[in-house]
Structure 1
Amino acid sequence: MRYSRHILLPLLVASLVGVASLSACSDDDGPANNAPVEDPEAAEARRAVLSSLGDDVILATYAEFEQKTDTLASAADAYAGSQSDADRQAVQDAWREAMNTWQRAEMFQIGPAGPMGAVVGGEDLRDQIYSWPIVNPCRVDQELVEQNYTDAESFASEPVNVRGLDAMEYLLFVEGTENACAPNSSINTDGSWEALSADDITSRRAAYAQTLAANLAERAGELRQMWAADGGNFLGEFSTAGADSETYATSQEALNAVSDAMFYLDKETKDMKLAQPTGLIDCVEDVCPEERESLWADHSLANVRNNLVGFQQLLTGNEDVDGSTGINTLLRDMGAGDLADDLNARIDAAIAAVDAVDGTMAEALQNDPQSVIDVYDATKSVTDIFKSQFFDVLDLEVPKRGEGDND
């Protein structure tokens, strides 16, 4: 369904008149004011949505994640002390719970979570927490041999691919006593891995996971504090974009930051998490299950589902918070309520497609790959309308990584 641009004409005319009038004004004693000028009512509407998203969705998710990582750290402590099957199951369950929350937060790479230099206000905290697709289980096994993780403070500065939720997944879910390195890797050629007994490997994996869980809890707390009003107050910078914010010169700039983050659903979720494993792109076989996001916990479908939920929350707000609003409010204000409804319906259909898959992604790729392709198709239906009508109506800028993307 296409949506006519004529619904924007009244607002655009008013905005342009306002910009022209204000731009023509200048101090007699100085040059014209070149600061960006926005329609006041439109800017205030955007700030109201940004404030709700920042507080009710983003900060609320970070607070939830902090709680989940505290639980994960406690479970990891118990498992490191006992190495019992029951405690291993408990820490695996705690990891799944933390990952469910983080996969929603993957959609919120705005400000401190985003990559430094690429995102305004970025502090690289996302990669400190979850560095996928930069995952290297061989490096984790090398660290297991070296035992650098025993010094938790110094280990916090190790490369991101030996820390975070991704490294922890390997440590908690991998089976057996083999390592993930090539035969010519030093831990295999010098006999250091072979010297480890099965009990050594189990105890070291548990101790390593304990260090990672504690570090995760610290990073989660740091991220929440950076957004909190009583901490770094990035929430204030985000909510006052174009007014008192020193980070965002206009409210439209902050809204663009949100839409940039939402492109994760197109590039990472649709293309990397779904198209590659199903063999639709970058795969020489019928399917490529080794390209799944979650190879050891087989949490891939849950990750996709939570990506969709996080994406939807940016549109609708937090349904658990009275009065919470999202970007759909702006669409409705601009006469594009049908587009908002269409987007919601397509997201619901994509979530339903995930729920319809029988078993894990690995099992489905073997037994019924079409069911995973159905998830891809439903997700593509969301991103198709997101990258076209959604961007057109809200006059958003396509991020560089989305330029020239016609799929």
Structure 2
Amino acid sequence: MTKTSLWLLSVVLLTTGALSCSDSGSGAASNPDEQLGDDALTLRREVLGHLGESVILVEYRAFEQAAEALEQASGAWAESGADADRQAAQEAWRAAMSQWQRCELLQVGPAGLMGTVAGGEDLRDEIYSWPLTNPCRVDQEVVEAAFDDPTAFAEEPVNVRGLDALEYLLFSASADNACAPNSAINRDGAWAALSADELAGRRARYSRTLAADLRARAAALRTAWEAEGGNFLLELREAGASSQTYPSTQDALNALSDAMFYLEKETKDMKLAIPAGLSDACSVETCPEDLESPYAQHSKENIIANLRSFRLMLLGAEPGVEAPGFDDLLIIVGAEEVLTALVEGIDAAMTALEAIDGTMAEALATNPESVVTAYEALQSMLVEFKTRFIGVLDLEIPQRAEGDND
């Protein structure tokens, strides 16, 4: 939150009021920025620039560093085959996944889905393709053993690469595969022909290739935002001015809030509701098989990282640090009550998640009520987000989230 917010508040409210009174009969301007006063427009650009440079780009850089560490650790395991090196690679994966889960809510521009997100280049799926995860396909690649060349393997489908495929290779030590009995690798005996040592060696070499590919993808995403690369940061910062992606600052703010809806659709509805049996997609009491990151047992940590990233976008920095964020935009229109409700809701959801004892799978087996409590806390905060937050800032609910009534 910036210190300029208080004096800007009176200026912008007066400006907005004057515009609404004097221009009420002339119809809306084609560019919503034309209805803003200079101070409001300046603050919006300050928020956009800060969130782009000091949040999104910083998080992408941190992920690239984590991917580099994972590449080194996976390479060491492939060279030695030692259990200690495998465990080190697993820890590197956990660190990389925790960092990427922060980036999941930052699917703005190049990370986003092409044709759906403005400036989208599908770079996210190249890094992490959940929920398209397919362990059987990974096992088929283990049998084929055509993974030693990272450059050639980079052309393979996303569900045999990325953090999700790496998780399966690093954490699954089973001698069995995830394919059906009538799958080709089982029918022709190709899987059964692999000795335990050969299987472990192939998994290690495969993970080395995937970690190298992951590091390259992380670098590509970061470079897409850097000034010396694709410079998408400038597209966000110059929204409504020289930006070719965002005709107005309102369009850019919508892009950011759309990305934050990940917490609603993916985190709440898929990562929590389905495993906890609170969704029609689960027809029994609980569905732990639908948990994210089941092999590493990292589901709870992923959700907490998602929530922390949401808070970071809202506040522009970690709690207690002043920085431009959506909170300033709420304050400048007199919506401090909405901000307070969101912050308190985030804190309540975080407390409920951290109170879940053990892994998410263990909690579903022994204390599913704790998972339901976390779901309800998150749901309560998100109702505030998609109603008053969106309404006060005149933002749009993304199409994929329209029709939700909870």
Specify the alignment match of 1:13 in structure 2.
17
Q: Is the 8 A contact 2:342 2:381 kept in 1?
A: yes
Give, in angstroms, the shift of residue 240 of structure 1: 1.2
**Cα displacement string for residues 186-205 of structure 1 (whole angstroms, at most 9, x for unaligned residues):** 00001111110001110000
Query: What is the SS of the residue equivalent to 1:150?
Result: coil
Task: List alignment gaps of at least 5 residues for structure 1.
Answer: 1-6, 25-32
- Indicate yes or no: 2:303 matched with 1:307: no
Matched, 1:77 2:75: yes
Residue aligning to 1:338: 337
**Residues 217 and 138 (structure 1 numbering): CA distance in 2 closer, same or farther, change over 3 Å?**
same
Q: How far apart are residue 389 of structure 1 and its match?
A: 0.3
Structure 1 match to 2:134? 136
Q: Distance in 1 between matches of 2:242 and 2:201?
A: 53
SS in 2 for 1:121: coil
Over 3 Å counting, the alpha-carbon distance change for 1:34 and 1:315 in structure 2 is closer
Equivalence map 1:202-281=2 (5 Å): 202-281=200-279
The residue identity in structure 2 corresponding to 1:165 is L
Choose which of 50, 53, 59 in structure 1 pairs with 2:51: 53
Q: Structure 2 vs 1, CA of residues 216 and 320 (structure 1 numbering), >3 Å: closer, same or farther?
A: farther
Say if 1:17 and 1:147 are closer, same or farther in 2 by CA, change over 3 A: farther
* C-alpha distance in structure 2 between counterparts of 1:181 and 1:157, whole Å: 22
Post-superposition CA distance 1:84-120 (Å, at most 9, x none): 1110110000000000010011000100000010000
Q: Distance in 1 between matches of 2:156 and 2:174?
A: 26
Moved more, 252-261 or 42-51: 42-51
Deviation, 1:390, is 0.3
What's the CA shift for 1:244? Answer: 2.0
Secondary structure of the structure 1 residue equivalent to 2:147: helix
Paired residues for 1:282-301 under 5 Å: 282-301=281-300
Rounded to whole Å, the distance in 1 between the matches of 2:30 and 2:263 is 36
Say whether the 8 Å CA contact 1:115–1:122 is kept in structure 2.
yes
Match of 1:96 in 2: 94
CA distance in 1, matches of 2:375, 2:164: 23
The aligned counterpart of 1:109 is: 107
Q: Stretches of 4+ moved more than 6 A in 1?
A: 18-24
Deviates more, 1:335-344 or 1:179-188: 335-344
Query: Are the equivalent residues in 2 in contact too, given 1:71–1:94 (CA < 8 A)?
Result: yes
Q: 1:15 to 1:309 in 2, by over 3 A?
A: farther
Quick check: 1:56–1:321 contact (8 Å CA) kept in 2? no
2:7 alignment counterpart: none
Deviation at 1:319, TM superposition (A): 2.9
Percent same amino acid at aligned positions? 54
Q: Which is further off, 316-325 or 216-225? A: 316-325
1:76 maps to a residue whose letter is S
Paired residues for 1:182-221 under 5 Å: 182-221=180-219
Normalised by the length of structure 2, the TM-score is: 0.93
Q: Distance in 1 between matches of 2:99 and 2:19?
A: 39
Aligned to 2:124: 126
Residues 222-251 of structure 1: per-residue CA shift (max 9 Å, x gap): 111111122211111101111221211100
Measure, in 1, the Cα distance between the counterparts of 2:361 and 2:27.
59
Provide the residue aligned with 2:3 in structure 1.
none
Equivalents in 2 of 1:230, 1:17: separation in Å? 45
- Distance in 1, Cα, partners of 2:160 & 2:130: 11
For 1:241, what is the secondary structure of its paired residue?
coil
**Alignment check: 8 A CA contact 1:226 1:234 kept:** yes
Instruction: Tell me if 1:364 matches 2:368.
Output: no
The aligned length equals 393
SS in structure 2 of the partner of residue 196 of structure 1: coil
How far did 1:38 drift? 3.9
Cα distance, 1:326 vs structure 2: 1.1
Rounded to whole Å, the distance in 1 between the matches of 2:22 and 2:111 is 35
Amino acid at match of 2:17: V
What's the CA shift for 1:175?
2.2
In the aligned structure 2, how far is the partner of 1:158 from the partner of 1:234? 27
Counterparts of 1:171 and 1:389, CA distance in 2: 44
Could you tell me which residue of structure 1 aligns to residue 5 of structure 2?
none
Contact 1:43–1:252 (Cα < 8 Å) also in 2: no
Aligned residue identity for 2:118:
V
CA contact (8 A) 1:19 1:38 kept: no
CA RMSD of aligned residues (A): 2.0
Deviation, structure 1 residue 22: 9.8
Measure, in 2, the Cα distance between the counterparts of 1:242 and 1:226. 20
Q: How does 1:28-47 map to 2 (within 5 A)?
A: 37-39=34-36, 40-47=38-45
What SS does structure 2 have at the residue aligned with 1:148? coil
Q: Per-residue CA shift, 1:350-407, capped at 9, x if unaligned?
A: 1111110110001000000001111101110111100100011000011111111111
Q: Which runs of 5+ in 2 are unaligned?
A: 1-9
Choose 7-16 or 110-119, whichever is displaced more. 7-16
